[in-house]
């Protein structure tokens, strides 16, 4: 829906309360950002807690001592819950290393619901990663991802300008052209990962074929490629062989068409407790500053749980002060012979 130049909805339609003007204005600005980004993919602040989602090459990187391990991860994000029609994302994945195939496999399911019109995206993915030892200290992984995606929308919950009656609100029938309720398409991604015992860096590209997701059977709804770069180091804070206290500075850079984002911060691990502090900077939105992210995590044996809160610091703070995110991971040891390479020690949150 677009407003004509001379339309003033707050004067023309008095049933809209003036005290809501500021929130509605900010909501319009936020929607404009996502329109400009042309269907920006969902994201997680705890990106290492969703390893297969962040980079397909990370499939099969869970270890138990010198043996490989199976891993299951669940992620939930509620972005801007104070707004009507909030953005909610669910992700679940399984991955495991197999020596017989020279790498790891993974399965992943993602569900995203956005906006009052309940625009939903459901995807199911299969992942394979191949590991190449360069020497006994340094390793490379390459991953491929194939997905089946369905995007759907509930047209009965959409509102357009021609439905508004000046005194009674949204009662008229719209003349907007009808569209399909859902669209289905394949999607593909790939990733690379280089790591040693204390250092890791990766690159991933999603939406390689730039599939069309339009509900109107045209090419206007292209999903742009998403590029992700991430890197970090793990610094021991004690003299033990297997350190129980570490400091891990990290950075992630993501670009999708006109939208770019930089996350940088650190994790501190002390026994079963993990804490983190991050800053997210975006370009092409309200300014460079976007959010400060605070993380608290807990691990017990093979179970990990993390909660993070994004504190909005941009101009959207008045209407959208923050976002919640929760992650949980369970891994288990596999009874097989020890693998011939070291585990990836990147953070689990």
How is residue 38 written in tokens? 């042309």
Query: Which superfamily does 9-333 belong to?
Result: monomeric porin ompg (2.40.160.40)
Question: In terms of DSSP bridges, do strands 235-236 and 245-256 run parallel, antiparallel, or are they unpaired?
Answer: antiparallel
Contact between 53 and 252 under an 8 Å Cβ cutoff? The reply is: no
pLDDT at 345 over 80: no
Closest alpha carbon to 61 in 107, 98, 104: 104
Question: What integer pLDDT is reported at residue 340 of this predicted model?
Answer: 60
Report how far residue 158's alpha carbon sits from residue 155's, in angstroms, rounded to the nearest whole number. Answer: 5
pTM of the model: 0.82
Q: Helix, strand, coil shares of the chain as percentages rounded to 5? A: 15, 50, 35
Helix (H, G, I), strand (E, B) or coil at 57: helix
Convert the pLDDT of each residue in 105-147 to its tens digit: 999 999 999 876 678 999 999 999 999 988 888 899 999 999 9
80 Cβ contact list (under 8 Å, min separation 6): 30, 86, 87, 312, 316, 319, 320, 322, 323
Give the mean model confidence (pLDDT) for residues 199-227. 90
Confidence of residue 284 (pLDDT cuts 50, 70, 90): low
Convert the pLDDT of each residue in 32-60 to its tens digit: 333 333 457 898 999 999 999 999 999 99
Convert the pLDDT of each residue in 139-173 to its tens digit: 999 999 999 999 998 877 777 777 787 887 777 77
Question: What integer pLDDT is reported at residue 307 of this predicted model?
Answer: 97
What is the dihedral sign for C-alpha 106, 328, 116, 2? negative
Report how far residue 283's alpha carbon sits from residue 298's, in angstroms, rounded to the nearest whole number. Answer: 33
- Please give the backbone phi and psi of residue 22, each rounded to the nearest 5 degrees, phi first: -65, -45
Report, in angstroms and rounded to the nearest whole number, the Rg of the chain calculated over CA atoms: 22
Which stretch of DSSP H or E encloses residue 92? strand 87-98
């Amino acid at each position: 829906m677009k407003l004509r130049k001379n339309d003033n909805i707050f004067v023309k339609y008095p049933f809209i309360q003036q005290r809501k003007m500021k929130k509605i204005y900010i909501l319009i600005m936020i929607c404009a950002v996502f329109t400009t980004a042309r269907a920006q993919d969902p994201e997680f602040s705890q990106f290492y807690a969703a390893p297969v989602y962040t980079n397909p090459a990370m499939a099969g990187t869970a270890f138990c001592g010198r043996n490989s391990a199976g891993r299951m991860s669940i992620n939930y994000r509620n972005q801007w819950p104070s707004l009507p029609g909030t953005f909610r994302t669910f992700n679940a994945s399984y991955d495991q290393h197999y020596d017989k195939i020279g790498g790891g496999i993974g399965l992943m399911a993602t569900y995203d619901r956005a906006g009052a019109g309940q625009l939903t995206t459901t995807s199911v993915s299969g992942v394979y990663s191949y590991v190449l030892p360069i020497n006994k200290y340094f390793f490379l992984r390459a991953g491929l991802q194939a997905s089946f995606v369905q995007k759907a929308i509930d047209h009965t919950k959409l509102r357009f300008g021609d439905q508004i009656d000046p005194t009674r609100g949204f009662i008229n029938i719209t003349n907007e052209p009808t569209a399909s309720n859902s669209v289905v398409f394949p999607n593909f991604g790939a990733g690379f990962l280089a790591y040693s015992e204390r250092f890791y860096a990766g690159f991933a590209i999603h939406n390689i074929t730039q599939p069309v997701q339009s509900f109107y059977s045209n090419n206007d709804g292209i999903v742009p490629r998403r590029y992700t770069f991430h890197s970090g180091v793990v610094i021991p804070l004690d003299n033990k062989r297997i350190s129980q206290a570490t400091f891990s500075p990290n950075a992630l850079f993501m670009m999708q068409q006109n939208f770019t984002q930089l996350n940088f911060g650190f994790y501190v691990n002390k026994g079963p407790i993990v804490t983190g502090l991050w800053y997210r900077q975006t370009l092409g939105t309200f300014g460079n500053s976007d959010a400060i992210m605070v993380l608290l995590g807990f691990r017990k044996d093979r179970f990990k749980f993390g909660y993070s809160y994004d504190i909005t610091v941009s101009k959207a703070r008045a209407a959208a002060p923050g976002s919640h995110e929760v992650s949980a991971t369970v891994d288990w040891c596999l009874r097989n012979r020890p693998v011939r390479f070291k585990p990836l020690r990147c953070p689990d949150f």
